[in-house]
Structure 1
């Protein structure tokens, strides 16, 4: 009985399948990163970026900050502070947009992105670490586990919004 041909067949099959298996489970968005310049801050989780000749409204992926008073929103505690902090961090800065959500845009037409500053820090992570945002739970996105951990650390340290909502903080 000649077993050489079946062995060669399965070896060739395994080698052909290896690249696909190497990528299995790695959450990567199908959209390449973009570079731009922040020209406006709407609030703690939404900015306006100019990339090339296009103006793009960006919703920071995976985080939710308290709302500022606006035409369609009621002010929430620390909403103004979150907006001021985002302005301080991002306005007139070059940024890199890294897409990593289930979709490129949300239902309002805003691009969903992790926003990286020139020094390599993530705006999304900064807002979570400082307790000015909570990790978004509803949809899938890259860095979700990290964002949940950063939220938990801010919560246990009673930072920002967590100081207002946890009975054990400040007592």
Structure 2
């Protein structure tokens, strides 16, 4: 019994450590590749013939890329969306930030250029270009990031609001499906993302999983299947597998050997 408790305790600590270190590893690269592959096949393709085409240079994160614009290397901030951070100087890495970046990287993989749709104002206060982006075959990048729960609708500032209602509808579908950033309640806030809420939720689920497995680790293990029960009179009695009342006995404690049961003050059942 002591050995089982030790294993459970150690497993809990191990799982807890994994939560702290790997929380943002929500979707593996293979999963992202599958999502992107499905997106390319099923996404609506828009007419981009009236948009401007620029050389793609770099994927910075889930909502920022770099293009060659009028002979200069320029950052482009995707309009009306906000992805979790990947390497922020104060916020650090946030859950689903790496996934949003990887999705964007794979969606634009093998493409030398992107189509850029500007709104009314071209730049933000950081001098970055502001735009709606499309792949070479007309897939809306903002739409697909929202559809897969990798960004939220945000930074809605006049006059750049051309597609805000469209984006909100796409986001609503992802919210209803509780996918990606919407899979943990209250992770997404009006000001951004609360990773402490995310970590607390994942940690809670981890401990709940450990608790659910405790019975399996004892009852399914033939050497730790002795049930210790305290009856209505306060008598401590242990029941061995195969005995008459074993299946109907509700265990207060489980033991690996009769010696452990007796050491704990339990006596054998009469039948």
Preserved CA contact (<8 Å) 1:78 1:161? yes
Preserved CA contact (<8 Å) 2:61 2:101? yes
Change beyond 3 A, Cα 1:91–1:107? farther
Q: What is the Cα deviation at residue 75 of structure 1? A: 1.2
**Are 1:142 and 2:162 matched, yes or no?**
yes
Counterpart in the other structure of 1:158: 178
**Are 1:119 and 2:137 matched, yes or no?**
yes
**Are 1:81 and 2:99 matched, yes or no?**
yes
Counterpart in the other structure of 2:116: 97
Structure 1: any 5+ residue segments left out of the alignment? Answer: 1-31
- 1:58-107 CA distance string (max 9 Å, x none): 00111101111244542111111111111111255221110115x21111
Distance in 1, matches of 2:70 and 2:136, equals 17
Change beyond 3 A, Cα 1:96–1:164? same
**Are 1:128 and 2:146 matched, yes or no?**
yes
Preserved CA contact (<8 Å) 1:158 1:166? no
TM-score normalised by L of structure 2: 0.47
Preserved CA contact (<8 Å) 2:156 2:164? no
Structure 1 or 2: more helix by fraction = 2
Bigger Rg over Cα: 2
Change beyond 3 A, Cα 1:47–1:92? farther
Choose which of 65, 68, 93 in structure 2 pairs with 1:47.
65
Q: Which runs of 4+ in 1 moved over 3 A?
A: 70-73
Higher relative contact order (CA 8 A, sep 6+): 1
Residues paired across the two proteins, number: 136
**Are 1:38 and 2:39 matched, yes or no?**
no
